[in-house]
């Protein structure tokens, strides 16, 4: 009887962004596949864990949800320092939250430097297209400029692209890097290759324009 | 020679009128020419055949007993044929004796009346066929198989015919056509067929008999024994005949033995059952000793528990030795099992530890919820909960192993050799403490993950699985030691970092002086307490208590800071006073301006103090949120006691005392009084303006705290009022109106004068010597004309110049000059009213019109 079994690697993911952009709801959608209309501000820092099964591999994601309020800002750097993935979330209907991305990315870079950290920029609330203040192109450009590994627009309310996001993040982790496909090199519609070309040597920006079918089919097995 | 056709015989029984009699056989019919054949000829032929044919005495072997044969005769074809054969042989014998001549062909015509003879050959064949058909159908109908008249019998019949047909083919029998030909060839064929059939039949019979040979042999072998038994039995019976008593005794003995045997059988059965119910077999014993912990092992455990449960019933017996012995035995087995399970659990945890890496990427054993290992682990844990010493020992082991791991992990964060050590950078204590607490938070998260995986018993699935373990002990069913085990273990494990964490944080807290940073530290500590408690850490755990203590220390440091500040002020003040006492030459200056210098500004310490206090209050206002604080009012930084220390003591005790000590002659000298009031107003105005933003929040926290704020406002108002009064008094004195102001007020308050009718109130003053116009002129005119034109400048530039608040200065000016102007106006009017004949003189004495006066004093 092999009790020790195979080691299960844990990865810390920290969620950053202004207040009310949907960090907690993104985690809730991923964890429980639910959405709560009632807004409740996060107090301090919260964490949740989830085991993810993907391509015959199992990883454990530890999701650290930070509070967007100013008074909790001083806590956040301590959590960035040992995180492998930083997800910066903005609200596509609030330009201000988009502008603050630079600050968040700077915080991450200050803490982690060029260390092995995966940067993700996520534009949330894509279901509110009527109130959109930040276009996809703006988001893509910003991600390119800031050197983010993954850019994606999501809707936690509609459940759009959330699983896809985590799937892409998981595939960017070292656990999956030695496997057959590199998430940074491939994409469903090949647009990502273009992005790679345009961004020179830098690992490409993941093209978010996956069609609806892909999105629906691309759920992870968790 | 004609072949006797038995079937033809059979037909003739039906066709002939005397066929009813079985003994009377029909005449054999020659196949050669039925029409011409006569009974006599046939008989002759038969006799001839009998003489020549060696098989004439043939008898179909009797396979059956006589009685069976008799029955068969009537029923089956074989019987019938046997009967016919015997009858015909008998008949032939009798005929042989009667006549030896065969009938000639010619004589057949003489007997033609006995059988219907066709006229020509074709009709003869038809007739033959018809007869044969009828015969065949009659035979078939008579057959017992056909008589059943069921589908099965038909099938059977068909199969019989088929086998006959196939038998014929197999035996290479002559052509069927040849058999049925009436000629000699046919006769020969039929004859040879008969021979064949007979020899075949014999072979078959021999084969059947061969099968009986071993049986017969065995019977023969037993024959002698049986004979012997028979003879012995006969002897015994003969002997015992007439000896009934002995026989009955033997029978009794036999009965007793029988009963005893039955009793022993029951006893054996009972013992077997007892063995099954109260003992373990060798395989189960071996499983207990040598088997790994798996499902089979738990089956055995269940059996052991069942045995123990059953053994308790035995204790109710009169002789409870069996029960107690069995229980002792089972207990020793259970002890063995407990030890084994304990070792398994400890081993499990050690293996987990060995497979866990403390490197940057946190690792855990890959045990998912449905893992058999996990189920075995939890089952073992549930079982071990019956044995509290082992169970506690296991929990201690887990706690110590995990505690060590957790502590190592925590301390490794501070190891400068590590990749990202937690260090105090650029004197940012908040960041340092934040890092320390965040690492504890992370450890709690990891540990909670691990503990919940192994020690959290899911309500539905696991409970059901565990409940399936029969029987369940009371402890087990209550889940007394298992409910909340994960939280309990988590708390115990995390305690290991509580001291190290406290030391790290205390290093900062103890040496941090800045009240604002200290306040931020208290907030940080408070927030982490909340977050830790939310993650399952008990609020009375040492980690939380340590954080609370640190928070209190930090809070006390805030108050201490302000206390020290005030103590320093007091000390400085005292030392200055001592210096002044030692230097009498400087005393005068010191008395004149006190601690506050010539500009009568608030002391520097007050500004500094207020700056610190306001900073603290601002921080408090920003961060004080009911969501993030779990403190009650008494424990909050802003409470009555602390506010007294922070506000009341420095202002109402230290400051006022310092002012009063700085102006000891204030009561005697109006100038000094003015200076003192100026300092007081300046100080309280500063205090009020700095604390004003907190009037509606911090100072509204409680009634007593609000009283402090009210007291500050009241003091300021009081000082302003005193200043107004003093300024007014000085103005009246300097304009010479003071005497008359007092005089008039004594008669009727000037403030109460409404109109001209009130002027008459002062008529009584006409008798007063002071009210002489000349006296008035001497007292007032010159002073008034000298002072009023520069009164405003005088007051603003000299007296109120040192008031830092222009608003208050304006207010004092406005009020005092307003009163002066009002009195001047009323005084002028009253004089004009009282001295209507000397109006010109009065206008000369009080030469400023009201408007002019107001203009001059700036109203």
Q: A96-151, pLDDT tens digit by residue?
A: 999 999 999 999 988 887 667 899 999 999 999 899 999 999 999 999 999 999 99
pLDDT tens per residue, range B739-756: 888 888 888 888 788 777
Rg (CA), chain B: 71
Same domain, B620 and B475: no
DSSP structure string for B776-841: HIIIIIHHHHHHHHHHHHHIIIIISTT-S-HHHHHHHHHHHHHHHHHHHHHHHHHHHHH-GGGHHH
In 3D space, the residue among B544, B542, B540, B519 whose CA is nearest the CA of residue B529 turns out to be: B544
Same domain, B669 and B610: yes
Q: Is A191 on the interface with B (CB under 8 A)?
A: no
Whether residues A3 and B352 touch (CB distance < 8 A) is answered with yes
Q: Classify residue B106 by burial, with Cβ atoms within 10 Å: 0-12, 13-18, 19+.
A: exposed
Give domain status of residue A216, yes or no: no
Same domain, B656 and B750: no
Counting residues of chain B whose pLDDT is more than 70, the rounded percentage is 75
Same domain, B346 and B474: yes
- Domain end call among B698, B728, B758: B728
Give domain status of residue A117, yes or no: yes
Same domain, B790 and B812: yes
In 3D space, the residue among B742, B731, B743 whose CA is nearest the CA of residue B856 turns out to be: B731
SS (H, E, C) B364-422: EECCCCCCHHHHHHHHHHHHHCCCHHHHHHHHHHHHHHHHHHHHHHHHHCCCCCCCCCC
CA distances from A13 to A4, A63, A102, A109, A143 (A): 26, 5, 19, 15, 18
Give domain status of residue A194, yes or no: no
Counting residues of chain A whose pLDDT is more than 70, the rounded percentage is 75
Looking at chain A, which residue has its C-alpha nearest residue B429? Answer: A74
Which chain B residues in 583-622 lie under 8 Å from chain A, judged by CB atoms? 622
Using 50, 70 and 90 to split pLDDT, how confident is the model at A193?
A: very low
Give domain status of residue A14, yes or no: yes
Using 50, 70 and 90 to split pLDDT, how confident is the model at B23?
A: very low
Whether residues A82 and B420 touch (CB distance < 8 A) is answered with yes
Give domain status of residue B444, yes or no: yes
B256 pLDDT more than 90: yes
- Domain end call among B172, B204, B230: B172
Whether residues A4 and B351 touch (CB distance < 8 A) is answered with yes
Give domain status of residue B289, yes or no: no
Alpha-carbon gap: B422 to the closest alpha carbon of chain A (Å): 9
Same domain, B622 and B692: yes
Q: Rounded to whole angstroms, how far apart are CA atoms A26 and A16?
A: 11
Same domain, B721 and B657: yes
**Average pLDDT over every residue of B804-816:** 84
- A52 bridge partner residues: A59
Whether residues A10 and B366 touch (CB distance < 8 A) is answered with no
Give domain status of residue B252, yes or no: yes
B3-16: string of b/e by CB count within 10 Å (b at 16+)? bbbbebbbbbbeeb
Q: Rounded to whole angstroms, how far apart are CA atoms B675 and B332?
A: 97
Which residues of chain A have a CB within 8 Å of the CB of B431?
Answer: 74, 77-78
Whether residues B524 and A74 touch (CB distance < 8 A) is answered with yes
Whether residues B364 and A62 touch (CB distance < 8 A) is answered with no
pTM of the model: 0.67
- Domain containing residue A38: CATH number: 3.40.50.300
Task: Closest CB to A44: pick one of B360, B439, B530.
Answer: B530
Same domain, B467 and B615: no
Give domain status of residue B832, yes or no: yes
Using 50, 70 and 90 to split pLDDT, how confident is the model at B325?
A: confident
Alpha-carbon gap: B714 to the closest alpha carbon of chain A (Å): 36
- B576 bridge partner residues: none
Whether residues A71 and B623 touch (CB distance < 8 A) is answered with yes
B152 pLDDT more than 80: no
The total number of structural domains that make up chain B: 5
Using 50, 70 and 90 to split pLDDT, how confident is the model at A205?
A: very low
The total number of structural domains that make up chain A: 1
- Domain end call among B278, B297, B326: B278
Give domain status of residue B843, yes or no: yes
Cβ neighbors of B696 (< 8 A, separation 6 or more) are none
Which chain B residues in 528-567 lie under 8 Å from chain A, judged by CB atoms? 528, 530-531, 534-535
Same domain, B408 and B480: yes
Q: Is A39 on the interface with B (CB under 8 A)?
A: no
Give domain status of residue B1, yes or no: no
Number of residues that this document lists for chain A? 222
Whether residues A77 and B431 touch (CB distance < 8 A) is answered with yes
**Average pLDDT over every residue of B806-824:** 84
Looking at chain B, which residue has its C-alpha nearest residue A51? Answer: B368
Q: Rounded to whole angstroms, how far apart are CA atoms B133 and B142?
A: 14
Give domain status of residue B784, yes or no: yes
Q: Domain range spanning residue A130? A: 10-177
Whether residues A1 and B434 touch (CB distance < 8 A) is answered with no
Q: Rounded to whole angstroms, how far apart are CA atoms B731 and B745?
A: 16
Give domain status of residue A213, yes or no: no
**Average pLDDT over every residue of B451-464:** 66
Q: Domain range spanning residue B773? A: 736-856
Q: Judge whether B190 and B173 are in contact, CB under 8 Å.
A: no
Dmax over CA atoms of chain A, in Å, equals: 59
B591 pLDDT more than 80: no
Looking at chain A, which residue has its C-alpha nearest residue B437? Answer: A78
**Average pLDDT over every residue of B70-84:** 60
Q: Is B441 on the interface with A (CB under 8 A)?
A: yes
Same domain, B492 and B345: yes
Same domain, B825 and B685: no
Give domain status of residue A209, yes or no: no
Give domain status of residue B793, yes or no: yes
> How many Cα atoms sit within 13 Å of B100 on the Cβ side?
3
Mean pLDDT of chain B: 76
Whether residues A43 and B445 touch (CB distance < 8 A) is answered with no
**pLDDT for residue B550:** 92
Give domain status of residue A207, yes or no: no
In 3D space, the residue among B387, B409, B413 whose CA is nearest the CA of residue B476 turns out to be: B387
Q: Is B627 on the interface with A (CB under 8 A)?
A: yes
Q: Count chain A–chain B contacts defined by CB atoms under 8 A.
A: 103
Alpha-carbon gap: A104 to the closest alpha carbon of chain B (Å): 17
B63 pLDDT more than 50: no
Which residues of chain A have a CB within 8 Å of the CB of B364?
Answer: 7-8, 10, 60
Q: Rounded to whole angstroms, how far apart are CA atoms B830 and B823?
A: 10
Same domain, B378 and B462: yes
């Amino acid at each position: 009887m092999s009790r020790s079994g195979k080691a299960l690697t844990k990865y810390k993911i920290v969620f950053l962004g202004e207040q009310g952009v949907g960090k907690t709801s993104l985690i809730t959608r991923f964890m429980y596949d639910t959405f709560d209309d009632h807004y409740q501000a996060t107090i301090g820092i919260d964490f949740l864990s989830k085991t993810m099964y993907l391509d015959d591999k199992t990883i454990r994601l530890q999701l650290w949800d930070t509070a967007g309020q100013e008074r909790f800002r001083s806590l956040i750097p301590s959590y960035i320092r040992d995180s492998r993935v930083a997800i910066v979330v903005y609200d596509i209907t609030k330009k201000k939250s988009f502008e603050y991305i630079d600050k968040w990315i700077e915080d991450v870079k200050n803490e982690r430097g060029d260390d092995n950290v995966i940067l993700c920029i996520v534009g949330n609330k894509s279901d509110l297209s009527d109130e959109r203040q930040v276009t996809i192109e703006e988001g893509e450009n910003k991600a390119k400029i800031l050197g983010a590994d993954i850019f994606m627009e999501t809707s936690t309310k509609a459940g759009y692209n959330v699983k896809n996001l985590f799937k892409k993040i998981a595939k960017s982790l070292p656990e999956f890097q030695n496997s057959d496909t590199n998430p940074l090199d491939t994409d469903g519609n090949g647009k990502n290759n273009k992005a790679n070309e345009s961004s020179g040597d830098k690992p490409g920006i993941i093209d978010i324009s996956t069609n609806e079918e892909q999105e629906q089919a691309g759920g992870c097995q968790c | 020679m004609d072949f006797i056709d038995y079937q033809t015989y059979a037909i003739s029984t039906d066709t002939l009128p005397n066929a009813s009699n079985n003994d009377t056989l029909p005449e054999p019919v020659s196949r050669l020419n039925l029409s011409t054949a006569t009974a006599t000829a046939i008989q002759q032929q038969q006799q001839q055949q009998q003489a020549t044919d060696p098989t004439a005495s043939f008898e179909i072997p009797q396979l059956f007993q006589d009685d069976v044969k008799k029955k068969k005769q009537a029923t089956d074809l074989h019987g019938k044929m046997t009967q016919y054969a015997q009858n015909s042989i008998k008949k032939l014998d009798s005929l042989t004796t009667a006549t030896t001549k065969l009938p000639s062909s010619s004589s057949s015509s003489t007997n033609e009346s006995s059988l219907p003879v066709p006229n020509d050959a074709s009709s003869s064949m038809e007739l033959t066929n018809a007869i044969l058909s009828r015969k065949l159908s009659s035979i078939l109908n008579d057959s017992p198989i056909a008589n059943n008249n069921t589908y099965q019998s038909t099938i059977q019949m068909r199969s019989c015919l088929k086998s006959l047909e196939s038998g014929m083919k197999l035996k290479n029998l002559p052509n069927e056509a040849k058999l049925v030909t009436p000629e000699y060839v046919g006769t020969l064929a039929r004859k040879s067929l008969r021979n064949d059939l007979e020899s075949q039949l014999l072979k078959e019979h021999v084969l059947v008999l061969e099968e009986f040979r071993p049986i017969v042999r065995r019977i023969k072998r037993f024959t002698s024994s049986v004979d012997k038994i028979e003879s012995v039995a006969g002897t015994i019976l003969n002997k015992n005949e007439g000896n009934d008593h002995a026989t009955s005794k033997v029978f009794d003995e036999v009965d007793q033995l029988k009963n005893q045997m039955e009793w022993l059988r029951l006893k054996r059965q009972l013992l077997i059952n007892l063995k099954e119910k109260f003992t373990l077999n060798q395989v189960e014993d071996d499983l207990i000793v040598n088997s790994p912990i798996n499902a089979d092992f738990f089956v055995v455990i269940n059996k052991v528990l069942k045995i123990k449960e059953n053994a308790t019933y035995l204790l109710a017996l009169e002789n409870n030795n069996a029960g107690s012995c069995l229980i002792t035995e089972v207990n020793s087995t259970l002890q063995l099992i407990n030890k084994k399970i304990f070792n398994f659990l400890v081993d499990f945890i050690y293996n987990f530890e060995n497979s866990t890496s403390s490197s940057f990427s946190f690792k855990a054993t890959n045990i998912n919820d449905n893992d058999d290992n996990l189920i075995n682990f939890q089952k073992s844990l549930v079982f071990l909960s019956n044995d509290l010493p082992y169970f506690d020992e296991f929990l201690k082991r887990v706690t110590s192993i995990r505690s060590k791991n957790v502590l190592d992990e925590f301390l490794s964060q501070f190891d400068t050799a590590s990749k990202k050590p937690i260090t105090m950078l650029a004197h940012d204590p908040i960041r340092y403490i934040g890092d320390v607490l965040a690492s504890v938070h992370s450890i709690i998260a990891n540990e909670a993950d691990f503990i919940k995986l192994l020690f959290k018993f899911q309500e539905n699935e696991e409970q059901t699985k565990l409940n399936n373990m029969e029987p369940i002990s009371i402890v087990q069913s209550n889940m007394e030691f298992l409910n909340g085990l994960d939280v309990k273990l988590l708390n115990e494990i995390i305690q290991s970092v509580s001291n190290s964490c406290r030391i790290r944080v205390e290093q900062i807290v103890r040496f941090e002086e800045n009240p604002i940073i200290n306040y931020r530290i208290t907030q940080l500590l408070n927030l982490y307490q909340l977050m830790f408690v939310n993650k399952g850490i008990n609020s009375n755990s040492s980690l939380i208590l340590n954080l609370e203590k640190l928070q209190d220390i930090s809070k006390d440091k805030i108050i201490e800071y302000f206390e020290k500040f005030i103590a320093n002020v007091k000390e400085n003040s005292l030392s200055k006073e001592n210096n002044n006492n030692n230097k009498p030459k400087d005393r005068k200056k010191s008395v004149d301006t006190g601690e506050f210098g010539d500009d009568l500004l608030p002391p520097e310490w007050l500004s500094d103090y207020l700056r610190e206090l306001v900073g603290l209050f601002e921080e408090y206002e920003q961060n004080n949120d009911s969501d993030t604080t779990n403190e009650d009012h008494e424990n909050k930084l802003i409470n009555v006691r602390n506010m007294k220390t922070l506000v009341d003591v420095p202002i109402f005790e230290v400051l006022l005392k310092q002012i009063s000590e700085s102006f000891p002659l204030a009561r005697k000298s109006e100038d000094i009084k003015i200076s003192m009031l100026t300092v007081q107003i300046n100080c309280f105005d500063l205090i009020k303006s700095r604390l004003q933003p907190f009037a509606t929040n911090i100072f509204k926290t409680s009634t007593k705290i609000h009283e402090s704020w009210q007291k500050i406002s009241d003091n300021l108002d009081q000082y302003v009022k005193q200043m107004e009064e003093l300024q007014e008094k000085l103005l009246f004195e300097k304009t010479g109106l003071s005497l008359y102001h007092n005089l008039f007020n004594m008669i009727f308050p000037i403030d109460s004068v409404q109109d001209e009718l009130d002027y008459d109130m002062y008529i009584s003053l006409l008798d007063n010597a002071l009210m002489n116009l000349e006296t008035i002129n001497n007292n007032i005119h010159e002073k008034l004309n000298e002072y009023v034109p520069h009164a405003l400048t005088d007051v603003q530039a000299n007296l109120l110049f040192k008031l830092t608040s222009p608003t208050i200065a304006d207010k004092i000016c406005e009020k005092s000059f307003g009163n002066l102007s009002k009195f001047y106006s009323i005084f002028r009017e009253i004089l004009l009213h009282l001295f209507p004949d000397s109006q010109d003189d009065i206008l000369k004495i009080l030469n400023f019109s009201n408007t002019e006066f107001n203009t001059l004093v700036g109203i």
